[in-house]
Each structure stands twice: as C-alpha cells, then as structure tokens.
C-alpha cells in the first residue's frame, strides 16, 4: 500500500476510533516523518486482524491490525449479529465474558459486554483476572449462547486476544468461525456501534459462585487426594498469569498440601518480568521453578501458562542439567491418559467400550495403545481442542473421556470442554502421590507404559521460511522415497479430508516411525512432528530407548534435509 493511502486510512481510523488514547497514539505516528514510524503505520494498516484460531490475537495498539477497543467493538458487534440471526433465544441465554490480566484485558472485556448489552443480549460478566478454563466452564454453567474470553494465552507480553466459545462450551469451529468473520466484516464504523453503559441491567456481574462450582466439579471428576498425599512435595508457578489463586484453592479442596510457591511469579503481571517468553514449552521458562525445586528437594514441579489452560511438569532426573527434566507433552499425555482410563476401568458401572480418548495427528501414538489395552475407543483429530473435545459429538455409542495435544494441553474433566491446566494439575498430583506412596515416581509410571507398549519417542523440528506455500507444494509434487535411511511406505495428504476435515498437512509413514509436516498457523515456519517406536520385547527398556534415539537422530537429519 502506498504511503499516502496508509496515511489516508489512518486519518479515517482516527475519526472512527472510540478510544482517546488510541487516537492519540495514531496521531503521533502520523506526525512522525521518520522511516520507523512509516514502517509501523504500514504494518498497522496492512490488513485487519483476521478471525483465526478461535478468534482474534495480535499486538495491542491502535489500528485495524492490532488489538484495541475498536477491533473488539467490531468483533463483538459481528458476533452479536451472528448470534441473533441464527437464534433469537440467544439474547436471553446471553454470553459469558471473562478476561485474564494482560494489558487492557479488563477494558476489552468491559467493551465487549457493553456492545453485547446494547444489542439486547444478556451478559454474564466474570470477575477480572480469571483463567480461560473458568470461562469455558461458565458457558455451560450459565447455559449461555456463547462465551468470550479476552486472553492471548502464552503469547508475548505485548499481545492480547479475543477467544470465542459456542454454546457447547467448546472453542468456535467451522463453519461458525467463517460465518462470524463475515459478520464482523459487515460491521460499519466502530464509532457507529452502540455501547451500553457499565450499569446496564443486561450486564450481570458474577461473584465467586462460578469459581466455586468449577472447583467442586473438577475435584469431583478428578477425585480427592489419595492416602499419604500430604507427604508429596511440589513446586508450583503460574508464570505471572491468572491461574494461581484457583489452582491453590483446587489443591486445598482436593486435599493436597500447600505447594512451594515461586513467589516472584505468583501475582499476575502482564509484563512477565522474570521470563523471556511466557510459554512453558520454551527453554528457560521454568528456570525459577526448577531452582526452587533444587533448593527444597521437590518431588515434582508444576507450572501453568499465563491463562491457565496448559500444564507443564518437571521431575527429578540426576542425569539432567540441574537435576530436573521437563516431561514432554506426549509423555505427560500418556501418563494422564492411563490415569483417566484406569479410574474408569476401576468403576464397575463404566463400560470401557464407551470411553473415547483422543489425541491429535501431530501427537504421539502411545495413547492409542493404552486405550486398546483396556478396550477403550481411540480417535485422532486435527490440532486444536475445538476438534479434540468434539471427537465424540457425532457418535451415539461413546462419550468423550480424555483428550490431549502435545503442546501441553489436557482435558481430564469432561465438564470443561477445553484444555484445562488446573484440573490436569490435580490429575498429575494424584498420579504422583499414588506412585510416591508405593515408593515410585512419575518416571516409574511412564517407564511402565513404555515397558508394556514400546518406546514412543517424539520430537519436533521447525524450519523458518516465508515460503511455506512453496515448500508444501514442492513436497506434494514429489514425495520422498526415504527419510533418515528408512523407506517411506505410505504418504497421506490431509487436504483431501480423509476421515478428518481438510488441512494443509502431509504425513509420511515409515516402518516403526512417522512424520507429519504442516505450516505453522501463527509464524512463518514449517513444522515437522516426528515419532519413532521401538518394542522392548527381548531387551531392556534402556536398550530400546537407545535404539529409538539413534533412529530419531537419523530421521531428524533426513527431515531437516527434506525441508531445507
């Protein structure tokens, strides 16, 4: 876009922007003739934040390509129009609205509530600074028509987002997301969108009753602490996010001891001052928690991400740097799957053939073996919990029992139809406490699973590129015959849909291994997910793991060469 066009668009945006500080921010950029200001303006008007994975997400600032009151106003007006057009009863059912502690989250939640109320839709406004799983629960608690959560999850500190849930308590999914996007595009100037005052009779402000109902539910579904749990020593951190208060209440209500808190990271802080990147998957994010664990000799470390929907766990490992090692999402996913299925199998009233468990196409396959061993059905979905928690929705013979994805997301309590780092933490504590009372550890629990079902070693590889479309086209035009010295025996192109919705993704099956390749949905990179399986029969677990590591090293090199 030409400079004069950008400046003209910026002037028009300023005239329509409902926020005085955002108007002043853009006005200052327009007055600055420097190249940095010009580049910043061009980026802010390069397009409009698109309604992507479950909603909007982007940097906070003025302009259509940023998160601000104007974009929240337009998004909410579009959502309101869509809700009313498909079901007039949605106005009475209302929309649950919540927010985390990121920059301007409370302001954006209040704006969304005002726009909904002005459209005649009842609003169930949660207290501020609450985790995302509570909002997902609140949608079903209030029997609302939808939910809106202001959060950017584990994105960088400068970001915020707008996450939408449907009446079933799960994240918005096709075709509803494209319909809402079209309704947002049809909204005119944000200045023309009516906004009800904060004291509107249509805006109901929830107290603690929703949080207590949530805690009662997850504690009942996951179960109380096992015997001798009081001796378990664990470190906990919410990474400057909003899960801390509810997590501590959950631990206490379920009967677990007070954790050793990482005090410097307990209070919500949108600047995330003690971490380079507020994502527990990133190296260094758990450094303070691990240091505290070393000082106290903790049995495990538990961390939630900033909005509380993900869970990271680290365990003692003398061979690891610093004496602790973080479990991968696939390892913890298998342990939690075995826990949930084990509880179900122990209940004589439960029919295991009805207990569906699910993971994504980029997650490891160990869960499928665990499920088969106890007679439970297993399903594979596309990435994202909007698919995982709906894995049983079109089947009358099963119910959703458990689901996970390798990116540290777990659904262990069926009432919350999304990943939930707090209920997952309760499940981890139950497994750890039960193992501890038998003189074992979480690592022993995982070892037993691989001893029974084989070593399932998973890894990821990311290749930065601005030409993701070209790379995927090249791979489709010429599938590899081998990777890492092993033959590719089958190729799956997921754009055909197969048993899943169409996705820009390729899968390669090798003897005892597989590779899935897809473009990142948020960054300019190609991501590859690798798995190597080695049976343990006739050798030690350590020997099988060494063989898996050697094969993974060769496979990783082969995939890197393929993508490079």
> Active-site residues: which are they?
153
Task: Give the residue among 237, 247, 296, 294 at the shortest CA–CA distance from 269.
Answer: 237
Give, for 421, the enclosing helix (H) or strand (E): helix 421-437
3-state secondary structure 20-71: HHHHHHHHHHHHCCCHHHHHHHHHHCCCCCCCCCCEEEEEECCCCCCECHHH
Task: Give the residue among 325, 315, 330 at the shortest CA–CA distance from 366.
Answer: 330
Written as six digits, the tokens of 170 are 């799960």
Residue 495 backbone zone (phi > 0: left; psi -120 to 50: alpha; other: beta): alpha
Question: Which SS3 state, helix, strand or coil, does residue 403 take?
Answer: strand
Written as six digits, the tokens of 385 are 């919990």
Burial 383-396 (b: 16+ CB within 10 A, else e): bbbbbbbbbbeeee
Number of neighbouring beta carbons within 10 Å of residue 452? 13
Compute the distance between CA of residue 255 and CA of residue 257 in angstroms, rounded to an integer: 7
Does residue 175 have a cis peptide bond before it, meaning omega lies within 30 degrees of 0? Answer: yes
Contact at 8 Å (CB) between 97 and 123? yes
Written as six digits, the tokens of 391 are 């894995």
Contact at 8 Å (CB) between 481 and 508? no
**Pairing verdict, β 378-381 and 159-166:** unpaired
**Pairing verdict, β 482-483 and 486-487:** antiparallel
Compute the distance between CA of residue 221 and CA of residue 219 in angstroms, rounded to an integer: 6
Compute the distance between CA of residue 59 and CA of residue 28 in angstroms, rounded to an integer: 18
Written as six digits, the tokens of 325 are 């090692």
Contact at 8 Å (CB) between 358 and 381? yes
Task: Give the residue among 181, 183, 153 at the shortest CA–CA distance from 58.
Answer: 153
H helices within 479-540, ranges in order? Answer: none
Contact at 8 Å (CB) between 403 and 423? no
Compute the distance between CA of residue 135 and CA of residue 149 in angstroms, rounded to an integer: 7
Compute the distance between CA of residue 126 and CA of residue 12 in angstroms, rounded to an integer: 34
Spell out where 260-383 has E strands: 260-261, 300-304, 311-316, 324-326, 355-360, 378-381
Number of neighbouring beta carbons within 10 Å of residue 354? 15
Question: Looking at the DSSP assignment, which residues form a beta bridge with residue 464?
Answer: 525
């Amino acid at each position: 876009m030409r400079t004069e066009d950008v400046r003209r668009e910026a002037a028009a945006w300023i005239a329509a922007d409902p926020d005085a500080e955002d108007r002043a921010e853009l006005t200052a950029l327009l007055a600055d003739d420097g190249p940095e200001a010009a580049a910043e303006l061009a980026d802010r008007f390069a397009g409009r934040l698109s309604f992507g994975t479950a909603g909007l997400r982007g940097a906070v600032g003025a302009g259509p390509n940023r998160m601000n009151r104007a974009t929240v106003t337009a998004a909410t007006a579009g959502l309101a129009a869509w809700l009313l057009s498909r079901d007039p009863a949605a106005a009475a059912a209302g929309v649950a609205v919540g927010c985390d502690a990121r920059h301007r989250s409370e302001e954006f939640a209040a704006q969304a509530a005002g726009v909904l109320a002005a459209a005649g839709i009842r609003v169930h406004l949660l207290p501020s600074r609450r985790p995302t799983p509570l909002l997902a629960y609140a949608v079903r608690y209030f029997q609302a028509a939808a939910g809106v959560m202001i959060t950017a999850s584990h994105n960088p500190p400068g970001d915020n987002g707008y996450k939408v849930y449907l009446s079933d308590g799960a994240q918005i999914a096709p075709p509803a997301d494209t319909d809402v996007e079209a309704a947002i595009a049809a909204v005119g100037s944000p200045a023309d969108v009516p906004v009800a005052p904060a004291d509107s009779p249509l805006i109901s402000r929830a107290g603690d009753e929703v949080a207590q109902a949530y805690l009662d539910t997850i504690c009942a579904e996951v179960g109380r602490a096992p015997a001798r749990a009081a001796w378990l020593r664990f470190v906990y951190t919410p990474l400057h996010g909003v899960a801390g208060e509810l997590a501590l209440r959950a631990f206490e209500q379920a009967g677990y001891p007070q954790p050793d808190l990482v005090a410097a990271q307990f209070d919500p802080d949108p600047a995330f001052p003690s971490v380079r990147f507020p994502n527990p998957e990133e190296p260094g994010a758990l450094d303070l928690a691990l240091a505290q664990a070393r000082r106290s000799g903790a049995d495990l470390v538990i961390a939630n991400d900033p909005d509380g929907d993900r869970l990271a766990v680290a365990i003692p490992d003398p061979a690891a740097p610093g004496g602790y090692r973080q479990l991968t999402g696939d390892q913890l996913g298998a342990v939690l799957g075995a826990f949930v299925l084990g509880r179900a199998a122990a209940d004589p009233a439960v029919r295991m053939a009805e207990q569906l468990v699910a993971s994504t196409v980029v997650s490891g396959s160990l869960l499928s073996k665990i499920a088969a061993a106890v007679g439970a059905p297993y399903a594979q979905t596309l990435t994202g919990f909007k698919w995982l928690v709906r894995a049983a929705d079109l089947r009358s013979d099963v119910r959703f029992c458990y689901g996970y994805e390798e990116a540290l997301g777990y659904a262990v309590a069926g009432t919350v139809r999304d990943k939930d780092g707090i209920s997952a933490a309760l499940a981890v504590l139950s497994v750890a406490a039960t193992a501890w009372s038998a003189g074992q550890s979480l690592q022993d629990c995982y070892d037993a699973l691989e001893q029974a079902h084989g070593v399932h070693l998973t890894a990821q590889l990311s290749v930065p590129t601005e030409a993701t479309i070209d790379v995927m086209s090249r791979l489709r035009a010429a599938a590899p015959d081998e990777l890492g010295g092993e033959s590719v025996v089958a190729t799956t192109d997921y754009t055909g849909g197969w048993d899943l919705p169409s996705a820009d993704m390729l899968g390669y099956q090798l003897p005892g291994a597989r590779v899935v390749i897809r473009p990142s949905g948020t960054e300019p990179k190609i991501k590859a997910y690798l798995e190597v399986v080695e049976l343990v029969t006739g050798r030690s677990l350590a020997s099988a793991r060494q063989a898996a590591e050697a094969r993974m090293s060769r496979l990783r090199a082969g995939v890197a060469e393929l993508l490079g």
